[in-house]
Amino acid sequence: MAWMHLEECYGSPQTIEKALLDKLEMFPKIGNKDALKLRELGHLLRELESAKLEGYLPGLAYFDTSRGVNPIVEKLPYGLQEKWMTQVQFPLFSFFTDFVCREACTRNDPSFTLSSSGITAVKPDNPVKRYTHSRGQVSSHKTEITPTL
């Protein structure tokens, strides 16, 4: 009876659907260099796709429309949003899920990881000198003055 009670409370289609949708809604916007978050989104989309295909969560059918996919697209980095716009106009959710998972796999491939350790900030030769004046702060670059004859 305990298992039946748990199934009624936590295993109902409405509860599962709400939990999946809440998880998706709470997912943060992904930054350009956050490949791991993109992978996590891909896993979540696979979970939604699987639940959708099983057919016991009819509310997930709206993911096959632009209205269902667009809020997820807004969570993608700008470059992927642009890339997505070049895809089929209104593809199925499974096509979108494959797209995100393929991009996540590519961006998490260690052979494509770029090292940024060789980049250093260049310090200017002429440092900016700041002087305080009664009307506020004044900044200027050091300049060379050549005498005129």
Q: Is the pLDDT of residue 28 over 90?
A: yes
Residue 96: C-alpha distances to residues 49, 66, 85, 129, 148 (Å): 10, 10, 11, 54, 71
Question: Tens digits of per-residue pLDDT, 66-100?
Answer: 889 999 999 999 999 988 888 766 678 889 999 99
Q: Cα–Cα distance between 69 and 54 in angstroms, integer?
A: 19
Side chain identity, residue 119: I
Is the pTM higher than 0.75? The answer reads no
Average pLDDT for residues 102-117, to the nearest whole number? 76
DSSP codes joined into one string, 44-61? HHHHHHHHHHHSS-GGGG
Question: Whole-angstrom Cα distance, residue 143 to residue 147?
Answer: 13
